[in-house]
Amino acid sequence: MDIARLTLTSASRMLQAGDIKPSELISEFLGRIAKYDRLYKTFTLLMRRDAEKDAREKDSSATHVRGKILHGLPIGIKDIYDVKGVPTTAGTTVLPNVPARNDAPVVKRLRDAGAVFLGKLNMHEIALGVTSINPHYGTVRNPWNPKCMAGGSSGGSAAAIAASFCLGSLGTDTGGSIRIPASLTGTVGLKPTYGLVDRRGVVPLSWSFDHAGPMAKTVEDVSLLMEVLTGKRHHIDNVDAKRVRIGVPKEFFWDGIHKDVKRNLEVSLRVLEKIGFEVDDEVKFPHAAEARSVLLFILLSEASTSYDSVLSDVVKRRELGGDVLPRLDQGRMLLATQYLKAQQLKRVYVSKILRDVFSEYDALVTPTTLIPAPAIDEREFLVGREKIDVSTALTKCTAIFNLTGFPAIAMPNGFTTSGLPTGMQLASRPYSENLILQVAHSYELRARWHEKRMPELRTTI
């Protein structure tokens, strides 16, 4: 069996046809993890015994019954969601090391749909960062090149999917934490409309911007996971391209863009036009630069509040990573008046963006990240003659859709000359997940970047 070629939907068809048993499928994935994940560090906890037991029990049950659409399929869970019986670490050591009493509601939905949980997935500590260089559980490495980062904060989820250690995952996204690692690893990640997917049982970072959402290899797979998470079907094959107007805001979103990312995006826009979509690349996006600053004010204020007891504990403060602690301390220094002003500006910007942009366009296309995956020790990226901070280059195009709460999906749209994947972001109005899934799926079927063969995984660098 060629595990690297499997997707959620193709594996589901194999199980339904009786070509393979759940226990056999799960055994293949566990063997692959055991062979390679010492290098890639995608899991914080491998639930081997539970997964094997669950899969054996599913061998004797119906392979496809109503509501069991994930029957026997291997899923990983970002270690920020509660999974009954195991601790939730959020990638840190400062939280109580006690088993969760219950599944988070969305985890229960996956379990009830028949998913087999392989384990908890690594992440940037407390989800406050975009590199997944984790001082406690190891640095998540990019399967396309293990010398490069996988992005974050859902880096373990994206890398595990790309490496075929699992076929789908739950991620969280506060400033781009689903879409950034999806882009850097050539996978697909959807940040749904704020609040659409239940966040109970998820360790909070910023209550104004935390989103829960699915990650997988293809748009079709993400659509399948969304059906489970929301209880609503998403019809991805019936888009009328001629009735969908796509806007491309270049000002701000393309500033500092890497030449390969730019080239691939330009080609992607031509593909969308050939499919039949109307594409306008002269879109003005109001307050884009200011919106990112507003998000940071609110996010850091709320994050420092979420971890106030940790920051007040001298011993626990020392356990926090060297990049996370300064950010939390920065949030503590912000004034209540600054926070409230930022919340006011957020409401103004959201209404203006809805009125000025999404009254005219059905969807927007931007880069997901301005750069491909940086080297793990890289903190600045040279674009032309300009040096760009890696964190800024990775979050610049994603964070604004956390501020608005609008749905956005990241998907692969090509590769750099050195063989690293690049990503395209599609965003739309609130509760327009169906539309962006349809547009994304039509592009995916035409471009077929998800079919590109990854180099063989390594056991050492």
Domain boundaries, the chain: 3-235+243-288+343-451
Phi and psi at residue 87, in whole multiples of 5°?
A: -70, 155
The CA-CA-CA angle for residues 387, 390, 393, to 5°, reads 85
Pairing of strands 408-415, 421-428: antiparallel
Residue 237 pLDDT > 90? no
Please report the pLDDT score of residue 238 as a whole number.
83
Would you give the DSSP letter of residue 242? G
CA dihedral in degrees (371, 458, 75, 60; nearest 10)? 160
Report residue 102 as tokens. 């219950």
Please report the pLDDT score of residue 386 as a whole number.
77
For residues 170 and 81, give the distance between their C-alpha atoms in angstroms, rounded to a whole number. 8
Report residue 233 as tokens. 């079907």
- The distance in angstroms from the start CA to the end CA of the chain is 26
Report residue 169 as tokens. 């995952």
Please report the pLDDT score of residue 393 as a whole number.
95
Find all residues with CB under 8 Å of 198, minimum gap 6, and list them: 104, 105, 106, 212, 229
Mean pLDDT of 32-50: 98
pLDDT band at 235 (very low <50, low <70, confident <90, very high): confident
Residue 219 pLDDT > 80? yes
Phi and psi at residue 381, in whole multiples of 5°?
A: -120, 130
Please report the pLDDT score of residue 64 as a whole number.
52
pLDDT band at 50 (very low <50, low <70, confident <90, very high): very high
Report residue 371 as tokens. 């750069």
Find all residues with CB under 8 Å of 34, minimum gap 6, and list them: none
Determine the longest span between alpha carbons in the chain, in angstroms: 62
Please provide the average confidence, as pLDDT, over all residues in the chain.
Answer: 96
Per-state percent for the chain, helix, strand, coil, to nearest 5: 40, 20, 40
Q: What is the pLDDT of residues 164-176, one digit of tens each?
A: 999 999 999 999 9
For residues 175 and 129, give the distance between their C-alpha atoms in angstroms, rounded to a whole number. 9
For residues 421 and 404, give the distance between their C-alpha atoms in angstroms, rounded to a whole number. 27
Q: Which helix (H) or strand (E) holds 78?
A: strand 74-78
For residues 401 and 123, give the distance between their C-alpha atoms in angstroms, rounded to a whole number. 21
Which are the catalytic amino acids?
78, 153, 177
For residues 63 and 320, give the distance between their C-alpha atoms in angstroms, rounded to a whole number. 45
Mean pLDDT of 118-132: 98
Find all residues with CB under 8 Å of 367, minimum gap 6, and list them: 253, 254, 257, 261, 262, 265, 397, 422, 423, 424, 425
Mean pLDDT of 300-319: 97
Residue 446 pLDDT > 70? yes
Of 173, 213, 215, which Cα lies nearest the Cα of 197?
A: 213
CA dihedral in degrees (228, 232, 236, 238; nearest 10)? 160
Hey, which bits of 129-265 come out as E strands? 133-134, 138-139, 141-142, 145-149, 168-173, 188-191, 211-216, 245-247
Mean pLDDT of 52-58: 97
Of 169, 170, 191, which Cα lies nearest the Cα of 180?
A: 191
Residue 387 pLDDT > 90? no
Residue 225 pLDDT > 70? yes
pTM listed for this prediction: 0.97
Domain 3-235+243-288+343-451 grouped into CATH 3.90.1300.10 = yes
Please report the pLDDT score of residue 385 as a whole number.
75
pLDDT band at 144 (very low <50, low <70, confident <90, very high): very high
Mean pLDDT check: name the lowest of 143-157, 371-385, 421-435: 371-385
Residue 242 pLDDT > 70? yes
Mean pLDDT of 20-28: 97
Of 372, 326, 327, 366, which Cα lies nearest the Cα of 151?
A: 372
Please report the pLDDT score of residue 383 as a whole number.
72
Pairing of strands 211-216, 168-173: antiparallel
204 near 104, Cβ under 8 Å?
no
Q: What is the pLDDT of residues 323-373, one digit of tens each?
A: 999 999 999 999 999 999 999 999 999 999 999 999 999 999 999 999 999
148 near 76, Cβ under 8 Å?
no
Mean pLDDT of 298-302: 98
Mean pLDDT of 141-159: 98
